[in-house]
Amino acid sequence: MGIVRLSPRVRRKLRNGLLFTSPWLLGTLIFTIYPIVASLYYSFTDYSVLASGRWVGLLNYRVMFLRDERFYTALKNTLVYACLLVPMSLTLGISIAALLNLKLRGMGIYRAAIYLPTVIPAVAASIVWLWLLDPQYGVANDILRRLGAPTIGWLSDPKWAKPSLVLISTWGLGTTVIIYLAGLQDVPVSLYEAAELDGAGVLRRFRHVTLPMLSPTIFFNLVMTLIGAFGYFTTVFVLTRGQGGPVDSTLVYSLLLYNNAFVYYKMGYASAMAWILFIMVSLVTYLVFRSSGRWVYYGGGG
């Protein structure tokens, strides 16, 4: 036998290790490994729940790339959303975290206030936003009117719909901010003192001390924000009643996938869409990881 003989102690460790991890091992087999294989298989079939699983080869993928305009619309919307959201969450997240890192009285309250929105159920928050951004009765336009500014069609104007989504996402930036804050608090004070002695001003200290020391945190948040942006669903679904309107301007990838699978019952086609998404997310994550070597700085214990 090619198997290495294990000592009784090691064998006992192995048995216990597997025993303790068995809930997850079983769960992963049933709810992750099997679904991945099944999903890949479905993506090559014409699976519609009623008439199940006729093998169609690459047809789903061919239709998606060559004939489905909504696929490109959804892809574009998701990418635009991600491209607006990522810089926004990066700059705003770090700025807010820096403000929250100041030593002021009652800082605990401000920190709690920033995080609070992220715990509110997405459905409830979306409904409130629907009301805030209502073109006629909403608070947002009411403020604009009082300022004498022209009102905006927020969610009803295709031009404004995506920026509105980004605005809503910004509101839920709490988790990102707290992670930046934790990162900021890890920067050794001695570094700032040393920089100050060398005559570095606030901006230079930020540029040459804070940013490099924060880069692992920025990297983590960047990856998480990207993955989140690709999976963006509940808010758009509630705001647009599952339609992705107006005129498909908020039809994000997840929404189209959901509609294909559970409204039109094109499960095979939706599986193919899921795989394309999977490949894209992996690719983007990979690129971010690859580039990270150049800008992420891991200090001593990092």
Partner 1 sequence: MATTSLMPVEQILEVPLTWVPRRYIWSNYPAALIYFPFFLFLRNTMIICVFTVVATVASCALVAYGFSRISWPGRNLVFAILIATMMIPYHVTLIPTFLIYKWLRWLDTLKPLTIPALTGSAFYIFLLRQFFMTIPNDLSEMAEMDGAGDFRVFWNMILPLSKPALSAVAVFTFLGSWNDFLWPLLVLNSEDKYTLSLGLYRYIGRYSAQWGLLMAACTMVTVPVIVLFFVAQRYFVQGITLTGIKG
Report the site for partner 1 in 4-23 (rule: CB under 8 A).
Answer: 6, 10, 13-14, 16-21, 23
Q: How far is the CB of 257 from partner 1 (least distance, A)?
A: 6
Stretch that binds partner 1, among 75-83, 151-159, 193-201, 214-222 (CB under 8 A): 214-222
Under the criterion CB under 8 A, does residue 275 sit at the interface with partner 1?
yes
Under the criterion CB under 8 A, does residue 117 sit at the interface with partner 1?
yes
Q: Are 294 and 271 in contact (CB under 8 A)?
A: no
- With vertex at residue 142, the alpha carbon angle to CA 139 and CA 143, rounded to the nearest 5 degrees, is 90
Under the criterion CB under 8 A, does residue 299 sit at the interface with partner 1?
no
Residues from 151 through 180 that contact partner 1 (CB under 8 A) = 170-171, 173-175, 178-179
Q: Taking CB under 8 A as the rule, which mask of x and - marks residues 220-239 in contact with partner 1?
A: xx--x--x--xx-xx--xx-
Give how far Cα 193 sits from Cα of 32, 189, 205, 210, Å. Answer: 50, 6, 10, 12
Residue with smaller CB distance to partner 1, 23 or 57:
23
Q: Taking CB under 8 A as the rule, which mask of x and - marks residues 40-79 in contact with partner 1?
A: --x------x------------------------------
Under the criterion CB under 8 A, does residue 127 sit at the interface with partner 1?
yes
Q: How far is the CB of 233 from partner 1 (least distance, A)?
A: 6
> What is the CA 146 to chain-centroid distance, rounded?
35
Q: Which of 58, 83, 124, 263 binds partner 1 (CB under 8 A)?
A: 124
Q: How far is the CB of 199 from partner 1 (least distance, A)?
A: 31
The one-letter amino acid code at 103 reads K
Residues from 189 through 208 that contact partner 1 (CB under 8 A) = none
Q: Are 201 and 117 in contact (CB under 8 A)?
A: no
Under the criterion CB under 8 A, does residue 89 sit at the interface with partner 1?
no
Q: Which of 58, 107, 139, 247 binds partner 1 (CB under 8 A)?
A: 139
Under the criterion CB under 8 A, does residue 250 sit at the interface with partner 1?
no
Residue with smaller CB distance to partner 1, 184 or 195:
184
Count of residues touching partner 1 (by CB under 8 A): 89
Residue with smaller CB distance to partner 1, 116 or 247:
116
Under the criterion CB under 8 A, does residue 287 sit at the interface with partner 1?
no
The one-letter amino acid code at 300 reads G
Distance (Å, rounded) from C-alpha 116 to C-alpha 107? 14
Residue with smaller CB distance to partner 1, 158 or 231:
231
